[in-house]
A and B are shown apart, each in its own frame.
Chain A
């Protein structure tokens, strides 16, 4: 059991997972449970591990539908993943040694005009056809379930299986499970070389070299550069996003709240802080591509937050940070790769945190030679040629 950056890397290990975010750590846990020897390497500076906002998304996010209309078929295809992903969070939550503040209290996507309401109603109908549990609420229904919403909100789409989680607690609890099973977690370790040979994979890192029988790329937005090392470029987009958190107050926002037409996502953690995001951009600065917040996003996101939930205006902003969302083509990249035996990908589609444990489960099953609970054949990296 070690995560000490100063200890030497093992020279040779069965499985190396590159990326210690929620996907990589869950996968290490699931593999180690079955007796695998696993090392997790993490660059450890600004990966998703440290920047998750903790929303559990199920309904299609209007933000992605607006941004990438060409990906809507992909979103629709992967829609069944989301309710199942929340189910996986429920499953692992009961196995963890600490309460991770998992609260499946529903998500609201609000509308401020007839047009927005109609957009949501159409989206709601389509999602129901695809098997999702969603409903439309008018203003009077909203006043009963969400009295905290501002006066301009005319209605909302409710998805009762959406929710929230405390990512700080969840990440640590999952990590403890993995470490207890002997997983080596090596932070501040960046992979600089990755070569497939007869013996397996030769991996060069900033902390030395390591040989591995199998390699899993679970590095989110870093996956593009890593797969390029193996001659398999992949169109991975790093989307640096702005996040805000307020001081704590008494619980008053039950749901995760999004907007039909505006960039806003907000939720209140169990400890009382309100986390506010919604896809406002941050920038990658300097040679380390450090995600850095912008004043435009800060003002824009907070202004919307207090417009949708007026009492947020009275709270103090405590911190902002920039996380990196990974976007490929609206669909996950999971499973093995033709022509490179021993290589696996574990990259969720959009809303990577929600999909983390499910993605890890699907990849673990594929690596263990078990039939995955959902077909992943459509999501192989082979689609990128």
Chain B
């Protein structure tokens, strides 16, 4: 059985040279997809002697670094196949790149400053609708998307060059329609553009294919989305253990199965959806371990609420459960992943039954791939850097951006939309985008065309329903929100700097200092992912030990860059700034 789907598109004549072996690949797919399709999960060696492969699949974790054509430290998940690349396994810290042409010194004054009416950051559900609303109301809108194609994580779009008619998927189609409408409305979409820094009151630095740009928009809409949260268990850094989102991107964007035998562990309906998508595409999904207990009679009221608020979604959910059962994929309620170990070229995963603050091991399953999906964390770095007020939501376990009914933050003129302000799902993000985009245009003196006014009114009504539906949904999937409870002393909490739980305990032994001091003592959070996975875990652990509630200061201070960015890209002025 091949891991490439029939609808992945024809393989080009491209042959990658992977460790001296020829490997067929398709132009436009990610290197991670090409390697995964060949059954390669282990991409590199770490400083501590471990191996790593694809984990987040969305450019955040920096675990999938490989040497591409003599350049080390390229993210396989974000690097597209464009030719006959030589791909090599690399060790820490990687070789120095051969780059040697220095650019003449510049100052900020040499960078082009763009001052659009509205700048939207993020090309997912929320960013696209915000951009459409503002642009259809006549505002000049620029949208920055760090990816090669807009659509974000919900409307995952097929890789360029892949036959689109091969991908029959309502979610993909809907995303495609939004992108097309944004372009028609005159939104200037800059793809492969990284908004790396935000500086008060409203300056955004971005590296783009045009060069390094400075944006000082009149209104700013941040729709940066979310990333999957980590739940450290022994073996969670092993190659072949990845997020459910990574497997979905491989499948939807590149038409590649993450593995043949797959175990899915975590919490929430997305895991069920991906289980079904993977099974339909030909993978053997051995089980879905769902931390929440099975839906019982007591949840009947909740189910009714869901039916009332979003009957279509509720029925979709019910049909999904039936479909899983029909395919013989067991959903193991009240179960979670205890540990993963290498096993004869594959992985042996131990599942456990929920107990007090832990899991009691129940059985082992041998698979090639383990997917973890324990929910998401908001990408709120830019909003925090701008000084927008945030409050900690204990039930959702993350910071929530304070916003008014128009989705404007505590900083005048700065709007926050969608999951980056607190997890609410793509549907809610889309509605919030309409509201924020229209309000930004109105604040700039534009009058809203009837179509937009109508859309905003409808969005408000739907938003209330989405939020009720989400609340009810998460009641059904209610589960303990663990942080480091399942880790052993030698389990890595910080994946990048390889800091185990034991080292953190040692750093807290002579008093319990604040998060910054623990960072300085252990190097936790100092790596390429910039603390995205470990900082929330440590913040919770510290709050518990110090007996203090979590607030915005419980996390690392927000500092540029929001994502690691190549220095040559930061200091390359745009040769011809657009008029």
Most A-side CB within 10 Å, residue of B99, B514, B571: B571
CA separation between A173 and B200, bound complex, in Å? 37
Complex CA gap A44/B566 in Å reads 32
In A309-354, the 8 Å CB interface with B consists of: 309-321
In the assembled complex, how far is the CB of residue B99 from the closest CB belonging to chain A, in whole angstroms? 4
**Cβ A249 vs Cβ B107 within 8 A:** no
State A151–B104 Cα separation when bound (angstroms). 11
For chain B, residues 207 to 233, give those with C-beta under 8 angstroms from any C-beta of chain A. 212, 214
Nearest Cβ distance between residue B315 and chain A, in whole angstroms?
46
CB contacts (< 8 Å) of B564 on chain A: these are 247, 316-318
A300 on the interface (CB 8 Å rule)?
A: yes
Q: List 25 A-B contacts (CB under 8 A).
A: A3-B510, A3-B511, A4-B512, A6-B512, A168-B523, A172-B520, A172-B521, A247-B528, A248-B94, A249-B96, A250-B93, A250-B96, A295-B205, A299-B111, A303-B105, A303-B570, A311-B100, A313-B566, A313-B571, A314-B568, A315-B566, A318-B526, A318-B564, A320-B560, A321-B559
Please name all residues of chain A whose beta carbon is closer than 8 Å to the beta carbon of B511 when the two chains form the complex: 2-7, 185, 187
Interface of chain A, main secondary structure? mixed
B567 to chain A, nearest CB (A): 5
**What would 12 more interface pairs be, CB under 8 Å, given A50-B517, A296-B108, A320-B560?**
A6-B546, A262-B105, A299-B108, A299-B111, A303-B571, A313-B101, A314-B568, A317-B565, A317-B566, A317-B570, A318-B530, A320-B561
B99, B203, B212, B528: which contacts A314 (Cβ < 8 A)? B99
> Is A59 close to B, CB under 8 A?
no
Whether A314 touches B197, Cβ cut-off 8 Å, given contacts A187-B514, A319-B530, is no
Q: Are B570 and A2 in contact (CB under 8 A)?
A: no
Closest Cβ–Cβ distance, residue A9 to chain B (whole Å): 13
Q: Mark A100-139, 1 if CB is under 8 A from B, else 0.
A: 0000000000000000000000000000000000000000
Q: Which of B13-51 contact A (CB under 8 A)?
A: none
Q: Is the CB of B571 within 8 A of A302?
A: yes
> At the interface, yes or no: B318 with Cβ under 8 Å from chain A?
no
**A315-B567 contact given A247-B73, A250-B93, CB 8 Å threshold:** yes
In the complex, the chain A residue whose C-beta lies closest to that of B106 is A303
| Complex CA distance for A78 and B95, rounded to whole angstroms | 41
B513 within 8 A of A: yes
In chain A, positions 270-329 with a C-beta closer than 8 Å to chain B are 271-272, 285, 290, 293-296, 298-300, 302-321
| Per-residue B-contact encoding for A1-34, CB less than 8 Å = 1, 0 else | 1111111000000000000000000000000000
- Nearest neighbor of A5 in chain B, beta-carbon distance: B511
Chain B stretch 245-301: residues in CB contact (< 8 A) with chain A: none
A5 touches B512 (CB 8 A): yes
Minimum CB–CB distance from B44 to chain A (whole Å) comes to 13
Q: How far is the CB of A91 from chain B (nearest CB, A)?
A: 24
In the docked arrangement, what's the CA distance between A248 and B526, Å? 11
Q: Is A205 positioned at the interface, with any CB of B under 8 Å from its CB?
A: no
Q: Are A295 and B108 in contact (CB under 8 A)?
A: yes
A283 to B520, CA, bound (A): 22
Task: Give the residues in chain B near A160, CB-CB below 8 Å.
Answer: none
Complex alpha-carbon distance, A1 and B521, angstroms:
17
A-side interface residues toward B, CB under 8 Å? 1-7, 44, 50, 150-151, 168, 171-172, 179, 185, 187-188, 246-250, 252, 262, 271-272, 285, 290, 293-296, 298-300, 302-321
Tell me the nearest residue of chain A to B101, going by C-beta: A310
In this complex, what residue of B is CB-closest to A276? Answer: B567
Residues in A with CB closer than 8 Å to B103 are 303, 306-307, 313
Complex alpha-carbon distance, A307 and B568, angstroms: 10
CA distance A360 to B96 in the complex (A): 39
Q: Could you tell me if A300 and B108 are in contact, using CB atoms closer than 8 angstroms?
A: yes
B392 at the A interface (CB under 8 A): no
A-B CB proximity, top 3 nearest: A4-B511, A313-B568, A310-B102
B510 touches A295 (CB 8 A): no
CB of B231, distance to nearest CB on chain A (Å):
25
Q: Beta-carbon contacts of B318-351 to A below 8 Å, as 1s and 0s?
A: 0000000000000000000000000000000000
Shortest Cβ distance from A294 into B: residue: B199
Distance of A278 from chain B, by nearest CB (Å): 12
Contacts A171-B520, A302-B567 given; indicate if A5 touches B94 (C-beta within 8 A). no
- Which residue from A1, A248, A272, A302 sits with its C-beta under 8 Å from B570? A302
